[in-house]
Amino acid sequence: MTSDSAKDLTRFKACDTMGVMNIFVTEINPIDASKSLCDKHVPKMIVESTQMLVSALRRHGAGDDDVPLTKSGTPHKGGYKNHPATVWTGDSRANAQWLEQHAYGLCDEFTLRFNKDHACFQQLLVVSEQLWRIPDTPMTDVALCVGEELQRGRTHAPIGDAVDVYREFYRIDKAEFAKWDKGTDAPEWW
């Protein structure tokens, strides 16, 4: 990382107001995007993806009997229903299916990298059966939850542009901890 990139790191962190969750759209293909994430993000992003998908289902009428159960046996409530990435997930079935496939890819990566299954996998199976609830419309522009500097006046972008933005965000904002030590190489764009 160059010294200019290190200086930028602070600026991007300061403007990343969406830091509680995200969808790292680092590739157009959701499976490829799952393979490109660092070891630390793989388990975390499975949980966040499941939360967003459940929230999208609840937004479109799913009740307690329609959603997966949590580890404690209670109906999953989802999470961060007003977060731009969660709203994007529920805006169209194509969006939700992109995230669903990304989450399954992350589960595969989790098994590969950590030699065990992620607890959310079973929850995702239930979610998949309910995606019919979300309006069957084409994919919409991707929410850019990267801070104002990288948004460049946009809150959403077509997926190809979003990939470029999220790769830049990942290189700048995640450089301090991103590692690929568990059996998957860093992506070429890293």
- Phi and psi (nearest 5°) for 69? -90, 150
Planar angle of CA 38, 40, 27, nearest 5 degrees: 30
DSSP state for residue 188 in the 8-state scheme? T
Domain count, the chain: 1
**Is residue 187 included in any domain, yes or no?**
no
The 10s digit of each residue's pLDDT in 52-61 is 999 999 999 9
* Residue 87 belongs to domain spanning: 3-173
**Is residue 11 included in any domain, yes or no?**
yes
CA dist., res. 5 & res. 9, Å (int): 6
Please give the helix or strand (H or E) that residue 92 lies within, else none. none
CA dist., res. 76 & res. 63, Å (int): 10
Q: What pLDDT, on the 0 to 100 scale, is given for residue 19?
A: 58
**Is residue 91 included in any domain, yes or no?**
yes
- Phi and psi (nearest 5°) for 106? -65, -40
pLDDT > 50? residue 1:
no
**Is residue 162 included in any domain, yes or no?**
yes
Is residue 145 within 8 A of residue 83, CB to CB? The reply is: yes
Is residue 177 within 8 A of residue 186, CB to CB? The reply is: no
**Is residue 57 included in any domain, yes or no?**
yes
**Is residue 178 included in any domain, yes or no?**
no
**Is residue 189 included in any domain, yes or no?**
no
The 10s digit of each residue's pLDDT in 15-52 is 344 457 899 999 999 999 999 999 999 999 999 999 99
**Is residue 183 included in any domain, yes or no?**
no
Q: What pLDDT, on the 0 to 100 scale, is given for residue 2?
A: 43
| pLDDT mean over 48-77 | 97
Among 3-7, 90-94, 97-101, 181-185, the least confident range:
3-7
